[in-house]
Copies of this chain bind each other. A is one copy, B any other.
Amino acid sequence: RVNGQRLWDSLMAMAQFGATKKGGCNRLALSDEDKLARDLFCQWCNEAGCTVTIDQFGNIFAKRKGKNKGLPSVATGSHLDTQPTGGKFDGVFGVLSGLEVLRTLNEHNIETDAPFEFTVWTNEEGSRFQPAMQGSGVFVGRFDLETEWNKKDINGVCLRDELERIGYLGSEPIGQRNIGAFFEAHIEQGPILEKQEQQVGIVRLGQGIRWYDVYATGQESHSGTTPMGFRKDALAASCEIITEIEKLANNVEHAVATTGFLQVSPNSRNTIAGSVKFSVDLRNPYPDVLERMHDEFNQLCNDVSLNRKVDIKVDHFWYFAPVEFKASQDVKQAAEKLGYTHMDIVAGAGHDACYMSDIVPSGMVFTPCENGISHNEIENTTLEQCEAGANVLLHTMLEASQR
């Protein structure tokens, strides 16, 4: 069994990097704060006797030897980056559950057959750079390294330059590690486990995601002298779309639709907006439903564009298909063996394990999250809940290493 207090202490130590006044974290991918969090993780893994390797996309791999060198590793991990108003647990809990597994094995002098690897994936959040799960996506070959290296943040800063700047542009070629299975512990980020009073969730499915950048281009003009009928107002057009996509999701079971990012130009109160860029995030567990939402959204943009004589360009830059976790049975067995109450669950968010399941059997264990709130500085959970998740992770990995 893991040491819950030690896990909790590590979580609190990590939370200092980018700590916000409201008790959360602002630790955007490849920021100075992300670097400090990465440095501490590497230091801890080195102290625990691991060999730490960084790949060309800044993904971190800490390897603990197994009895049988030739066997592929059993791997775990998650991410250390957060949202601008993120919490202390999203991602970090998965990374440090791995660390706690590592420390527990060392403490009990347990030698496993297969090697174990403890990972940190670059830019899982997709907040500073798009898309999300970028590091694991590059690793499994979903995304092209050069393309992702060249991605720019909102200030035009290039991802590769940031990797270099914080010292995490590694030399190991992408996707070269010998990994046989991947498991990830994560807070649920939703309200279901708490409501159902279950200690852990066995993730069967990750829902589908479509991400868009929408560019509305109208014509700048004076707010006082331009009659309503003569306007080509890029912001009014954008607001109409945002209001309508919400309705589109309201009528469809399990569907969510969100605009979280919006930028106006010239952003002056007495100039009608000439251009607006905004994000759209559509999700549904069923591919056909998500495709229907996609079609309706495109139709909506067309209609608004025609009605308002505002040009609307839709860049659908990311489709994340629903994922089935093939190793979820391993997670379930571990939860049962340990006597935790558990239930099957669907992940509302994307996770690195989703991309890892492209190449190896993967599984996820979810733990409850206070009031289902995540991507918020008040995101919360308890020592006991974290401990249960890490215990399930430990026993899932031990089981997998014996095959």
Interface contact B374-A258, CB-CB below 8 Å: no
Binding stretch for chain B, among A36-44, A47-55, A217-225, A383-391: A217-225
Q: How far, in Å, is A25 (CB) from chain B's closest CB?
A: 12
* A270 beta carbon closer than 8 Å to chain B: yes
Contacts of A236 in B (CB 8 A): 242-243, 246, 259
Interface contact B256-A221, CB-CB below 8 Å: no
Q: A264-B262, A271-B83, A281-B269 are in contact. Are A256 and B348 (CB under 8 A)?
A: no
Copy number in this complex?
Answer: 2
Among candidates B261, B281, B350, B374, residue contacting A221 with C-beta atoms closer than 8 Å: B374
C-alpha spacing A374/B225, complex, angstroms: 8
Contacting B at CB under 8 A, from A270-320, are 270-274, 279, 281, 283
C-alpha spacing A92/B384, complex, angstroms: 68
C-alpha spacing A224/B288, complex, angstroms: 18
Interface flags for A195-209 (1: CB within 8 Å of B; 0: not) read 000000000000101
C-alpha spacing A222/B190, complex, angstroms: 8
**Interface hub of A243, A269, A376 (most chain B Cβ within 10 A):** A269
* A85 beta carbon closer than 8 Å to chain B: yes
C-alpha spacing A30/B230, complex, angstroms: 32
Interface contact A132-B226, CB-CB below 8 Å: no
Among candidates B189, B235, B242, B270, residue contacting A222 with C-beta atoms closer than 8 Å: B189
Binding stretch for chain B, among A122-130, A169-177, A328-336: A122-130
Interface contact B281-A349, CB-CB below 8 Å: no
Interface contact A132-B225, CB-CB below 8 Å: no
Interface flags for A244-267 (1: CB within 8 Å of B; 0: not) read 001001100001111111111111
Q: A243-B239, A266-B83 are in contact. Are A225 and B260 (CB under 8 A)?
A: no
Q: Look across to chain B and name the residue whose beta carbon is closest to the beta carbon of A271.
A: B375
* A156 beta carbon closer than 8 Å to chain B: no
Interface contact B262-A235, CB-CB below 8 Å: yes
Contacts of A233 in B (CB 8 A): 246, 258
Interface flags for A172-198 (1: CB within 8 Å of B; 0: not) read 000000000000000011110000000
Q: Look across to chain B and name the residue whose beta carbon is closest to the beta carbon of A247.
A: B228
Contacts of A222 in B (CB 8 A): 189-190, 348-349, 373-375
Contacts of A70 in B (CB 8 A): none
Given contacts A127-B271, A222-B375, 10 further A-B contacts (CB under 8 A): A85-B266, A190-B226, A222-B373, A224-B256, A226-B348, A239-B239, A243-B243, A262-B262, A262-B264, A271-B376
